[in-house]
Amino acid sequence: MNAVGSMSLREIMRFAVAARLQAMHCRLAFLLFGAIGIAGAASEAESAAAPRPNRPPNVIVILMDDMGWRDVGFMGNEFVETPHLDQLAKQGLVFSQAYASAPNCAPTRACLMSGQYTPRHGIYTVVDPRQPPGSPWHKLMAADSKAELSPGVTTVAESLQARGYSTGFFGMWNLGRGRRGPITPGGQGFETVVFPENLGFAKDAYFNPRGDYLSDSLTDAVLEFIDQNQNSPFFVYLADHAVHAPYEPKPALRDRYAAKAARSRDERNDPSLAASVEAVDENVGRVMNHLRRLNLADNTLIVFTSDNGGTHQYTAPLRGGKGELYEGGVRVPLVVWWSALKNPGRVCDSPVASIDLYPTLLEFAAATPPSKQTLDGVSWAPLIAGEEALPSRRLFWHFPCYVGRSTPASAIRDGDFKLIQFFEDGGRHELYNLETDPHEERNLAQSNPAKADALQAALTSWQEATGALLPSQPNPAFDPAADRPRGGQQFSPFDATRRRGRSRDRVQ
């Protein structure tokens, strides 16, 4: 086993993050946010005045799409250049074991907006017409997933709005279709709503016909919103389409990274992905510049994270990727920046998740939690106040659906142990000690049956308590010879029959 393989999860993360932050000291003088230098921001943070009396902090949540745990510099990536995010990390709080509450976008976004695990809001996956329950390549009848966040859910935006916040949404919603109505951002607590199409972008496009780049245009809209609402507390939810594949980076950035990749032997160093990430970083710098020009930075809490793990080719040495409950599918970058943060530049090892953001923001805004809505997360306020760890707790995931090549599964993390329950073939379990086996290579379910049974019992109890839908019934239409559709192709019974006929012809 190589040196990295013998290191624990905490050692790997601390080594990577600490090395990156140390390297930044050597080029601190060059890391400037435009005309306003940020080199003195660490001492500035220490001497900053307390948040303005009677005014809660502004909040900016930046949620990336499909950004994996190591896709940014402050998480140890030495190929991509993210100076602005690295500076936030150096002055902020980095979470080495941050998780998305689901392995793909829609359920995590619902968890973030509701503060609830997936069984409570019922959005388990992206509802995809290419993979409806009962598709012939599914062994089990997948659980039905809602496509919309219920208007009965009180979102974090609505809770902050009730506290007097101006609220703005910018980017990809994925929790209900349409521009107006109760299931859109405008019906879920956001007063200002800007979709990519409002800025002239076609669905999933990174450039519009004018040649504008999506991350730039969304940031333009955010800066305008801040200008208009600078005299009151504001909540910005920037949900960029980046860095979702297929990438369409700025040509100059891509060419620079292509030359850089030619000198690298690491297959994870994709020029198009790296260029897309750097474009995001540039816009984080623009936001920080703007806050400082308006004298708002000291009273603004910034959270940067992702909706799920990265795609498989970029997540090594972690196992798996988007759509899976292995670490590569749910581990994400996370940094929190605020001038009131105690002991900036820390790395926190406490496992945290998307569900925690809601109670965290409520606490700092002194907002009232919804009275009839369970919040499953816990506040990060003790960590921001300087404590080293949160009290021990269990984290759960429930993904009873098919996506890509992934099959229905549920998972629990308790301390260093993580158990994944796969529902196919009568159910099987995989148990890992993440402290000694961060890459999930050694399944301990057979060698440590007591721990596996205890975690499965806890997982089952949680499933029952939350009303989790289970994919327990066999699919009567299952055909082992059927192929799932590729790309944008949609499933139809005729196509499935035709594929079955071709498969039988091949066998004969």
Q: Are residues 101 and 148 in the same domain?
A: yes
Whether 377 and 414 share a structural domain? no
Long-range contact set of residues 185-189: C-beta below 8 Å, sequence gap at least 24: 185/157, 187/151, 188/113, 188/149, 188/151, 188/153, 188/155, 188/157, 188/158, 189/155, 189/156, 189/157, 189/158, 189/159, 189/160, 189/161
Answer positive or negative: Cα dihedral of 126, 129, 133, 137: negative
What is the three-class DSSP state of 439? Answer: coil
Asked if residue 508 belongs to a domain, the reply is: yes
Say how many domains are in the chain. Answer: 3
Contact in structure between 151 and 157 (CB atoms under 8 Å): no
Last residue of a domain, one of 329, 355, 388: 388
Cα 466 from chain centre: 22
**Which tokens hold the place of 188?**
């879920």
Tell whether 46 is covered by a domain: no
What pLDDT, on the 0 to 100 scale, is given for residue 16? 52
Position 446 in a domain: yes
Q: Strands, DSSP E only, in 307-356?
A: 331-332, 335-337, 346-348, 352-353
H-run or E-run covering 412: strand 409-414
Report pLDDT for 53.
52
pLDDT in tens, 268-290: 999 999 999 999 999 999 999 99
* Residue 43, domain member (yes or no): no
Tell me, yes or no, whether 433 and 504 share the same domain: no
What pLDDT, on the 0 to 100 scale, is given for residue 11?
55
CATH of the domain at 443: 3.30.1120.10
How high is the pLDDT of residue 25? 41
The answer as to whether 39 is a domain residue is: no
Residues 314 and 428 in one domain: no
Show the low-confidence residues of the chain (pLDDT under 50): 1-7, 9, 12, 15, 19, 23-51, 487-508
Q: What is the pLDDT of residues 414-436, one digit of tens each?
A: 999 999 999 998 899 999 999 99
pLDDT at 491: 42
- Residues 188, 123, single domain; the answer is yes
User: Taken in order 288, 293, 298, 301, is the CA torsion positive or negative?
Assistant: negative
Report pLDDT for 7: 47
CATH number at residue 179: 3.40.720.10
Q: Cα–Cα distances in Å, from 362 out to 27, 164, 236, 356, 358?
A: 37, 12, 14, 10, 6
**Calpha distance 400→224 (Å, rounded):** 41
- Per-residue pLDDT of 377-424, as tens digits, reads 999 999 999 999 999 999 999 999 999 889 999 999 999 999 999 999
Element containing residue 99 per DSSP (H, E): strand 98-99
Statement to judge: residues 337 and 410 lie in one domain: no
* One domain, residues 375 and 443: no
pLDDT, position 319:
97
Task: Judge whether 295 lies within some domain.
Answer: yes
Containing structural domain, residue 445: 396-466
Instruction: Please give the pLDDT value at position 405.
Output: 83
The pLDDT score that the predictor gives to residue 501 is 36
| Residue 163, SS3 per DSSP | coil
Give pLDDT tens digits for 361-379. Answer: 999 999 999 999 999 999 9
222 with 369, same domain? yes
Tell whether 40 is covered by a domain.
Answer: no
pLDDT at 14: 54
Cβ atoms of 384 and 340 within 8 Å: the answer is yes
Same domain (yes/no): 298, 382 = yes
Residue 42 lies in a domain: no
93 shares a domain with 64: yes
The two tokens of residue 199 are: 């800025």
**pLDDT tens digits, one per residue of 102-141:** 999 999 999 999 999 999 999 999 998 877 899 999 999 9
What's the pLDDT score for residue 129? 81
- Does residue 247 share a domain with residue 345? yes
pLDDT score, position 484: 76
Same domain, 199 and 258: yes
